[in-house]
Amino acid sequence: MSVIVITGGSRGIGASTAEHCARQGMGVILTYKSNVAAANSVVQRIQASGGNAVALELDVGDVSQFGHFRENVRQTLQATWGVETLTGLVNNAGHGLFNPLASITEAQFDGLFNVHLKGPFFLTQTLLPLLGEGASIVNLTSATTRVATPGVAPYAAFKGGLEVLTRYMAKEFADRRLRANAVSPGAIRTELGGGLNDDLEALLASQTALGRVGEPQDVAQVIAMLLSEEGRWINAQSIEVAGGYFI
C-alpha cells in the first residue's frame, strides 16, 4: 500500500494533488494550517470516489510541532492503512506575500523563511524515519526562482534555497534509495497571495507560451507522476511546470 503526506492539502495545488493521488490508489495524509472545513471537504471528496484520506493539522512554520506530527502520522498509518512507512512526502504548504525589497519587514521575511525553507528542511528530517526505502520526496518551488519578479524577493530566494536543498536530499538520502525532486510551477489559478484578478491573469497568460495560466491539476499530475512508479528514474531534478513561462 502506497501512502503519502501532502502538506497544505486543504486547498489549491495540494488539494488537487491529494485527489489525483487518491484516484491513482494512494492513501493520502493531507495537512492544513487553519482551514479544517476545506481539509475535510477534500477528504470527503476522496472518500466519495472510493479513496482513503486523513486530514491532520500542522503549521509548517512551527518546527516545535513536528515531533508530535510524526507520532500522529505513525499512528494514522497503522490505524488507517495497517502500514509502518510512507512512500512519499510532498512539501507543498505555503503562502504568498507581495512587498518590494525596499519595504519588506523582518517579520515578513522570517514568516516566509520559516514556511518555505526551514519548514520543509526540518519536516523532511523529522519524517525521515517513516519514509520507506525507495520513497519519493517532492518539494514545491516556483518559476520566480528563474524569472525575477518584483515584490517576491524573499519568497523566490527561499524557493531557490529549497531547489538546492532538493539536490542535497537526493545526495544524502541516496543510501536509503530515496528520490527527491523539485516541481516549479508558473502562475497557477489558486488563492495564493490573494489569487489572480482578471488583469493579472491576462498579463500572466500573455507571458506564457501556451497562452493561459495553469490550473492546479496541471501541477498535480506531475507531482503524482514523481510519487509513482512512473517517476522511479527521475531524481535530483527541478521540473518547471509553467506552460512555457517567459521563454
Ligand X SMILES: NC(=O)c1ccc[n+]([C@@H]2O[C@H](COP(=O)([O-])OP(=O)(O)OC[C@H]3O[C@@H](n4cnc5c(N)ncnc54)[C@H](OP(=O)(O)O)[C@@H]3O)[C@@H](O)[C@H]2O)c1
Chain residues that interact with ligand X, rule: CB under 6 A: 7-14, 32-35, 38, 58-61, 92-95, 115, 140, 142, 185, 187-188, 190-192
Return the number of the residue (26 or 90) whose C-beta is nearest ligand X: 90
Residue 54 region, left (φ>0) first, then alpha (ψ -120 to 50), else beta? beta
The answer to whether the Cα torsion of 83, 77, 135, 217 is positive or negative is positive
Q: Which of 119, 118, 111, 185 is nearest to 147 (CA)?
A: 185
Cα separation, 14 vs 32, whole angstroms: 10
Query: What is the smallest separation between the CB atom of 116 and ligand X, expressed in angstroms?
Result: 7
What are the backbone angles phi and psi of residue 150, rounded to the nearest 5°?
-55, 135
Return the number of the residue (37 or 79) whose C-beta is nearest ligand X: 37
Query: What is the smallest separation between the CB atom of 80 and ligand X, expressed in angstroms?
Result: 20
Query: What is the smallest separation between the CB atom of 82 and ligand X, expressed in angstroms?
Result: 27
Catalytic entry in 32, 155, 168, 245: 155
Cell of 120: 520543509
Cα separation, 148 vs 156, whole angstroms: 8
What are the backbone angles phi and psi of residue 215, rounded to the nearest 5°?
-105, 155
Return the number of the residue (2 or 7) whose C-beta is nearest ligand X: 7
SS3 10: coil
Query: Roughly what angle, to the nearest 10 degrees, separates helices 12-23 and 36-48?
Result: 20
Q: Are 138 and 183 in contact (CB under 8 A)?
A: yes
Annotation says 155 is catalytic: yes
Query: What is the smallest separation between the CB atom of 239 and ligand X, expressed in angstroms?
Result: 12
Query: What is the smallest separation between the CB atom of 141 and ligand X, expressed in angstroms?
Result: 7
Cα separation, 206 vs 200, whole angstroms: 10
Chain residue at closest Cβ approach to ligand X: 12
Return the number of the residue (21 or 140) whose C-beta is nearest ligand X: 140
Can you list the alpha helix ranges (DSSP code H) found in 77-197? Answer: 106-113, 119-127, 153-172
Return the number of the residue (83 or 205) whose C-beta is nearest ligand X: 205
Q: Which amino acid makes up residue 4?
A: I
Residues forming the active site = 155
